[in-house]
Amino acid sequence: MLRTAAGIWHRGCARSYATATKPHALVFLEHNQGVLEPGSLSALTAAEQLGGQVSALIVGGASHVASAVEQAKKLKGVNTILHSASPAYEEPVAEDLSPLLKAILDSSVYTHVVSATSSTGKSLLPRVSAQLDAPTVSDVTSVEHDASTNATTFTRPIYAGNAIATVEAPSSILIKFFTVRGTAFSPALAQEGSEAKVGAVDPVHAATPLSEHLKTIVVKSDRPDLGIASRIVSGGRALKDAKTFADTLYPLADVLGAAVGASRAAVDAGYADNSLQVGQTGKVVAPQLYMALGISGAIQHLAGMKDSKLIVAINKDPDAPIFQVADVGLVADLYEAVPALIEQLKKD
């Protein structure tokens, strides 16, 4: 089953057995049409912090896998790359990927399985971890591995980020699964001279497919991606409707080169697409600048943005909770303030 990768496996195994406590992480490396996802690069950094070997797993259609492998080879900290290509992995659902991941884990000695806290990672890792009787620790913000006790300690936010839990996965958990909060780790960078070993893994298909992908609904945007943008302009319920939302926010976002975000209220009211939602149940961001316009600052929203470097709030209500976390607050009608702000920014 794992024919071509046998050599790599062997070397990997031998090394791991010799020093039984040395961690060996398998990172599920995601890509979008062959371009590595930033969240996965942060997951790589987290895996590297465990202090042992790091292998990456890349799956997809053949051409996308090839280009993703090329990028991954040059990344700092990646020792081995496993890749598996199949038409079934072009648009995979978790049921397609889990037999492959499980087969790899069954036949090797990984101590950790890591992914970004992405919709794919969140769907896949818990499914496989349960089959191996192990928990998945979700959305970790720090990792520390003690090689002598073989225990890994994680911190992760709970209660919408209003508390931080420090949890230990003891040595009794043989494979430690965790997903990584992208904003808590800097992405792994390319490094001169890095050249990871590459091995192909045969795809593993379920005898009877359980689910199939029908279509993808992509939200098109010329602006930076919300998850990785260094500046974000975000709007709330005060924006009235979808047109006002766009007319008010987009010009400011364009002046600043910022991504556009939204509160749940704005999403629920249909002003903005769900994929733009920032908060406990949406995206967690930590840009250089987060501008909250007409957002009151409910705890669910703060959970998604309070690690931003500079928070600027414009709100009519001087008592809005957002002002308690904002570095710069302006009490004003945003329909007057935002155009003035755009003008001022253009002038300077």
Partner 1 sequence: MRPSPSRLLNILVPIKRAVDYAVKIRVNPQQTGIDTNVKHSMNPFDEIAVEEAVRLRDRLKTEVKQIKTVSIGPPKSLDVLRQALAMGADSAIHVEVPESSPAPEPLAVAKALQAIIAREKEPVDMVILGKQAIDDDSGVTGQMLAGLLGWSQATFASKVEVDVSKGEVTVTREIDGGGEEIRCKLPVIITTDLRLNEPRYASLPNIMKAKKKPVEKLNAEALGVDFTPQLKTLKISEPPKRVGGGKVTSVQELVAKLKEAGITAV
Binding of partner 1 at residue 169 (CB under 8 A)?
yes
- Is the separation of the CB atoms in 40 and 71 below 8 Å? no
Mask 15-44, x = binds partner 1 (CB under 8 A)?
A: -----------------x------------
- Is the separation of the CB atoms in 263 and 276 below 8 Å? no
- Is the separation of the CB atoms in 99 and 206 below 8 Å? yes
Token readout for 212 is 């199939």
Binding of partner 1 at residue 286 (CB under 8 A)?
no
Site residues (CB under 8 A) for partner 1, limited to 301-320: 306, 309-312, 314, 318
Query: Between residues 1 and 164, which has the closer beta carbon with respect to partner 1?
Result: 164
- Is 298 among the annotated ligand-binding positions? yes
Binding of partner 1 at residue 148 (CB under 8 A)?
no
Of the residues 3, 148, 163, 195, which one makes contact with partner 1 according to CB under 8 A: 163
Of the residues 103, 160, 175, 228, which one makes contact with partner 1 according to CB under 8 A: 160
Q: What is the DSSP letter of 75?
A: B
Residue 1: CB minimum distance to partner 1, A: 19
Q: Which residues contact 275 (CB under 8 A, 6 or more apart)?
A: 219, 226, 283
- Is the separation of the CB atoms in 304 and 278 below 8 Å? yes
Binding of partner 1 at residue 78 (CB under 8 A)?
no
- Is 186 among the annotated ligand-binding positions? no
Site residues (CB under 8 A) for partner 1, limited to 226-255: 227, 231, 255
Residue 113: CB minimum distance to partner 1, A: 13
- Is 301 among the annotated ligand-binding positions? yes
Distance of CA 185 to CAs 72, 116, 134, 271, 327, Å? 17, 11, 24, 32, 23
Token readout for 196 is 């990871």
Query: Between residues 196 and 312, which has the closer beta carbon with respect to partner 1?
Result: 312
Binding of partner 1 at residue 223 (CB under 8 A)?
no
Torsion of CA 3, 178, 59, 47, to 10 degrees: -80
Binding of partner 1 at residue 328 (CB under 8 A)?
yes
CA 142 from chain centre, in angstroms, equals 14
Token readout for 320 is 């809005």
Binding of partner 1 at residue 345 (CB under 8 A)?
yes
- Is 338 among the annotated ligand-binding positions? no
Q: Report the binding-site residues for FAD.
A: 237, 263-264, 277-281, 294-301, 315
